[in-house]
Amino acid sequence: MPVLTRAAFKAQKLLIPGFSLEDVLDEAGQVRRDVVEGVEVVDDENVELEDEEDSTNLFQLPNPSPSSPCGSYTSIPNDIPNDIPSHIPSLPSVSAPGHEPGPADPLLGLHGEERRKAKKKADKRARERSQRVEATQARELDSELRPRAVENAKNAFPNRISDFDSAKLPVASSGWVGNRNGAKLSARLLSLWRHLTLLTERGFRLLEWDGTTCIVLVDAQDRIMAVLAGVPPSAEKSGDWSKSMSNLDNAVAGCQKESSFAAKEEHHPRGDFTARAAGISYGGGRAVPGNVRISGQANQQAMEKLFLHPDMKRLVGFTNSIFNSFAHQTYVEYKETLTEHIQQKPQLRPTSPKTVFAATTVNFGPCTVTPPHLDAGNVAHGWCADTALGDYDPDKGGHLVLWNLKLVIRFPPGATILFPSALMTHSNIPVQDGEQRRSIVQYSAGGLFRWRYNGWCSDKTFLAKASKSELKDREQDRTQRWKVNLEKFTRWGDLVSGDWKGNGPSAAQLNEVGEQTNAEVERPHKRRRCK
């Protein structure tokens, strides 16, 4: 089966014929209103969160950074040492004011003029230190991207899905998460999900991706819906990405050998393969956001070791760079949400200091394939980053099927695809007998965004205390949320012209927004502090 190489892609303009979502999804799919409760659900009901008193029972990783499961199954560092210490040191997290003892008073024992001069110098150093921190934070929030990363994004190949509009994707009435009913397929279509040949015979387009060329999926309104990430620019020259991902695959397999798993981690709604989540989420029976529970010290240490592996760090850096390049406004929202959660609750521990994703699920396999589903608990307008690992023939299995787009994507080991897993029904073609397929999925739960919007409390708590004016504003926000978040999708034309941050409205946006004014699109949500 021929593979779509970079040269072949240049010579072949791919236009995938559009179709009505109703042709694929069961008509019984109906947008349901979110139940207003204090507990958000996550797709993986097997995921447990730590108790408040167990907040140290997870990653003692460095700075704040996120992770949350892409469904229920589920920094490119320089000069990283190859040896992983047997003892993983605790990483600093953001501290609540006044909760940590400060250094000894440098003015102790000084008096008069000497004390005044020393205090003046200390104040100056503090101001300079604060300015450096602010400058660093502003620089990080601005982009965290090197110029070559932006140029690399401009040089990606657009794959236009004609007549498909992302606005039709199945969003829950709240606008925060996906609509679970949107994943329902007819029995006839559901019977085809394991068979590559039958899907292509029924009109599904096969995109024979080589795993290294960066391809963007663009809808009829020029929105970037998903990215087939390719490889980092540096790896194109060195050619070491395949080796790096092979090393990571070995590390994942090693982590599995060093761990023990409960039955619910080996058999779950996504399939009969071993999976473990880590990071920060909201759900699993808990009324507040928390760390995903990993039981047992040996299991915790095995996962800590995996997330400190240099090739895991490299993958995290690359996926975040791609996310930032092609969906900058959403990336910034992820980063702000995660950072503020950790500031509010310093015991929250992400899986990496260099990620904006709140959680990560490691699918150990050995045969990780999933039936058609939505990761409806993930934030609706966001992306998950799905990285395939293992040893299998990508021409015969492991493909990613995006049912809404009627698209089957060749998905080789070591490749990464970012897409809205809460909105697009997706599945995998099974690999061959004797082959192994693993994966790493990075994502963020929609409940984390809703908790922040509410002023750091649940819907139930907010509604119990809200004034009539606040309730009116809230309902207006709800009705506009999907439309506003849809405008955060980067337009391909804007990116190519240099506006990769989406700062200016494009012609397509102006035509689309209609009665919605710029003030409504840009209106910051007002958050009261729940008490």
Predicted confidence (pLDDT) at residue 76 exceeds the cutoff of 50 = no
Among the listed ranges 7-16, 102-111, 197-206, 389-398, which one has the minimum average pLDDT value?
7-16
Task: Using the predicted structure, report yes or no on whether residue 402 has a pLDDT greater than 90.
Answer: yes
User: Cα(273)–Cα(266) distance, rounded to whole angstroms?
Assistant: 5
What type of residue is 396?
A: K
Task: Please report the pLDDT score of residue 13 as a whole number.
Answer: 43
Overall average pLDDT of the 128-157 stretch: 70
Query: pLDDT band for position 49 (50/70/90)?
Result: confident
Residue 429 has pLDDT above 50, yes or no: yes
Q: In the prediction, which pLDDT does 296 show?
A: 93
pTM of this structure: 0.76
**pLDDT per residue as tens digits for the range 216-256:** 999 999 999 999 999 998 887 788 999 999 999 999 999 99
Residue ranges of domains in the chain: 10-19+43-88+144-452, 453-522
Band of the pLDDT at 189, cuts 50, 70, 90?
A: confident
181 pLDDT exceeds 50?
Answer: yes
Model pLDDT, residue 78: 35
CATH architecture classification, 10-19+43-88+144-452 = 4-Layer Sandwich (3.60)
pLDDT score of 103: 52
Sign of the C-alpha dihedral computed for residues 252, 257, 262 and 264 taken in this order: positive
The arithmetic mean of pLDDT across residues 5-34, rounded, is 42
Q: Has residue 186 got a pLDDT over 70?
A: yes
- Which value, to the nearest 10 degrees, does the dihedral of the CA atoms of residues 21, 377, 301, 349 take? 130
pLDDT value at residue 516: 42
Whether 94 has a pLDDT exceeding 90, the answer reads no
* Candidate ranges 12-21, 106-115, 158-167, 230-239; pick with highest mean pLDDT: 158-167
184: confidence class by pLDDT, cuts 50, 70, 90? confident
State pLDDT tens for residues 332-382.
999 999 999 999 999 999 999 999 999 999 999 998 999 999 999 999 999
pLDDT band of 65, cuts 50, 70, 90: very low
- Model confidence at 384, pLDDT cuts 50, 70, 90, reads very high
- Per-residue confidence band for 182, with pLDDT thresholds at 50, 70 and 90: confident
Helix axes 241-257, 310-326, angle to 10 degrees: 120
Residue 317 has pLDDT above 90, yes or no: yes
Q: Is residue 306 scored above 60 in pLDDT?
A: yes
Rounded CA Rg of the chain: 23
pLDDT of residue 131: 62
Which single residue is written with the structure tokens 């494009």?
506
pLDDT tops 70 at residue 522: no
pLDDT at 276 over 90: yes
Residue 480 CB coordination number (10 Å): 15
More confident residue, 144 or 198: 198
CA 269 from chain center: how many Å? 21
Please give the structure tokens belonging to residue 63.
């700075």
Q: Cβ of 111: how many Cβ atoms within 10 Å?
A: 8
Q: Which residues contact 62 (CB under 8 A, 6 or more apart)?
A: 91, 92, 353
The pLDDT assigned to 106 comes to: 66
Give the residue, 57 or 455, on which the prediction is more confident.
455
Mean pLDDT of the chain: 80
What's the pLDDT tens digit per position in 473-510?
Answer: 999 999 999 999 999 999 999 999 999 998 866 545 54
Q: What is the pLDDT of residue 271?
A: 75
* 403/170 Cα distance (integer angstroms): 12
What pLDDT is attached to residue 57?
Answer: 45
Q: Report percent pLDDT > 70 for the chain.
A: 71
